[in-house]
Amino acid sequence: MPNAAENHGHELPRRKLFGDAAAGLSSVALASLLSDGRTVSAAEAGSSNQAVAPHQKPTAKSIIWLFMAGGPSQVDTFDPKPELNRLAGQNVPDSLAANLPRLKEASLVNLMASPYRFRNYGESGLPVSDLLPHIARRADDLCVIRSMHHLTPVHGPGECVALTGTSQGDRPSFGSWVNFGAGTTNAGLPAYLVMNLLTSGMQYPQAPGWSTGFLPARYQGVVVDPAKGIRDVDMPLHISKADRARQLELIGWLNQRHLKWMKHHPEIVARIQSYETADRMQTTAPELFDLASETAETHQLYGADVFPTKSVGTACLMARRMVERGVRFVQVRVGGWDAHGNLTGNHNGMAGKTDRPVAALLTDLKRRGLLDDTLVVWAGEFGRTPTMEGLGKGRNHNPLGYSIWLAGGGVKGGQAIGATDDLGYAAIERPVSVSDFYATLLHSLGIDQHELTWSHHGRDEIATNLGGDIVHEVFA
């Protein structure tokens, strides 16, 4: 590494180098805020380690999205349909079929009653099926939207619709927009962390679901294993802390010199910041994934040490630890809800793996005072048909009307918003599109969908693509 004489006074101490760069960027972001009123994340100006001012008062600081990949059946979970049970074995009535988008003939034949019983729970009396008894006991925290809808009935493209807004998968994931728009409150951890679990059949995780599309790559989600942590965060065995410090000092000196030549180019500043973040992660990330610090009661609550809840329980516990430490957006993908041939076998198995951990997450967040500013989302890419598929008592894909729920983060619990028809096929009351849903989530974080933009091919792109309507009824 060049010595002071060789540097001719240009070498800077590593901490001061990074600190000066970040301080300069803070003023850039502030100037932008004052000039046009637009919230600019620190990462946009070149730093990814700074939270930014919201457009309006937020109801939540962070989001945990529990993505139930494969398509949980709405009529067997959160959308009871007595008429479906009454007409079981018959075909979809012509009066209803005439108003549905074009469907295959098989999707209109042989209505199948739900094998699950619905009961009213909590003070609110919100109906939930006995498939999910643990979540049902949290009914007063849940805001169920029964009228989600889109037109993509295939897993991969449908997952892209749910997580990016379009079936092509060429737009930024929603978490990337949040990362871009809100920044982070913990400089030592990524703002956007992803855990992919329990993939089965053809429901492979769709990389666009945590990628950045046309946004810079620094906003993408960091995929982690909840049991092992962030890859490559440990120091190589042959590298000492002193060696690493000298490496970073050399890299910092070279970057600072190049930065001066490039007149503080934002991409160079971003590279400098990435080294500093990586350095801090080697201290903070191992602590994050050290579940030995949790009590035996907490492990038991989540089912983190027993079959069949261990995998999802560990991920949900990690999600709580992440938001507790300032991670802005956590995405937990649980694949396997594809019930073509055997609805009860599939859904009983998936509920057995997820019901207890998900309810535990709500309970744990609430008792720690974190649920008030953490928005929890339970949603898949679509729902399922009210008709039987084939002879195996399964259900096919159905994006025309399906259920999701939200809890915490300023949400008014114990309510259902919107409705599907009498059989649960399509949204007919207060229909909510994916763009509407995105606008609502951004609103919870204090982000105005129309003020958060990125110029791409001559167009100011927004997270909701062509815009969405905030579902204001969601909030208390």
In the chain, the number of structural domains is 2
Do 399 and 366 have their domain in common? Answer: yes
Same domain flag for 284 and 300: no
In a domain, 48, yes or no: no
CA distances from 346 to 75, 114, 153, 183, 391 (A): 15, 14, 19, 38, 15
Residue 154 sits in the same domain as residue 258: no
Query: Would the pLDDT of 172 be above 70?
Result: yes
- The reply to whether 466 falls in a domain is yes
Q: Are residues 104 and 223 in the same domain?
A: yes
From CA 210, how far away is CA 275, in angstroms rounded? 22
Q: Are 160 and 168 in contact (CB under 8 A)?
A: yes
Residue 235 lies in a domain: no
pLDDT number for residue 251 = 84
Among 426, 430, 410, 413, smallest CA distance to 471 is for 430
- In a shared domain, residues 178 and 279: no
Please tell me the least confidently modeled range out of 73-82, 230-239, 288-297, 403-412.
230-239
Distance CA 170, CA 38 (A): 25
Mean pLDDT calculated for residue range 87-107: 87
pLDDT, residue 99, reads 85
Range of the domain at 97: 61-230+296-474
- pTM as predicted: 0.86
Q: Is 110 within 8 Å of 388 (Cβ atoms)? A: yes
218 and 252 inside one domain = no
Shared domain for 9 and 148, answered yes or no, is no
358 within some domain:
yes
Residue 329 in 3-state DSSP? strand
Lookup result for tokens 């049902």: 136
Residue 209 belongs to a domain: yes
pLDDT in tens, 362-375: 999 999 999 999 99
Residue 427 pLDDT > 80: yes
Q: List pLDDT tens digits, range 175-212.
A: 999 999 998 888 889 999 999 997 665 578 999 999 99
**What is the average pLDDT across 253-258?**
86
28 and 170 assigned to the same domain:
no
The reported pLDDT for the residue numbered 17 is 34
Distance between CA 411 and CA 439 in Å, rounded?
A: 14
Mean pLDDT, range 385-392, rounded to an integer: 89
Q: Do 233 and 281 touch, CB atoms closer than 8 A? A: yes
Q: Mark whether 318 and 277 lie in a shared domain.
A: no
Q: Which of 271, 288, 305 is the last residue of a domain?
A: 288
**H-helix or E-strand spanning residue 174:** helix 174-182
Dihedral sign for Cα atoms in the order 350, 375, 404, 155:
negative
- pLDDT-wise least confident of 46-60, 127-141, 361-375: 46-60
Is residue 426 within 8 A of residue 401, CB to CB? The reply is yes
- Residue 53 domain-assigned (yes or no): no
Taking a C-beta distance cutoff of 8 angstroms, is the pair 182, 53 a contact?
A: no
Helix (H) or strand (E) holding 260: helix 241-261
From its phi and psi, is residue 122 left (phi > 0), alpha (psi between -120 and 50) or beta?
A: left
Cα separation, 171 vs 155, whole angstroms: 17
Which CATH number belongs to the domain containing residue 337 in this structure?
3.40.720
Would residue 45 count as lying in a domain?
no
* Residues 225 and 354 both lie in one domain: yes
Q: How far is CA 107 from CA 11, 93, 104, 380, 431, in A?
A: 70, 12, 5, 20, 21
Q: Which of 1-15, 25-39, 234-248, 441-455 has the lowest mean pLDDT?
A: 25-39
Same domain flag for 333 and 463: yes
Find the range with the poorest average confidence among 100-104, 113-117, 243-247, 430-434.
Answer: 100-104
Q: Looking at residue 202, what is its pLDDT?
A: 59
Shared domain for 269 and 300, answered yes or no, is no
With respect to residue 42, please indicate whether it lies within any of the assigned structural domains.
no
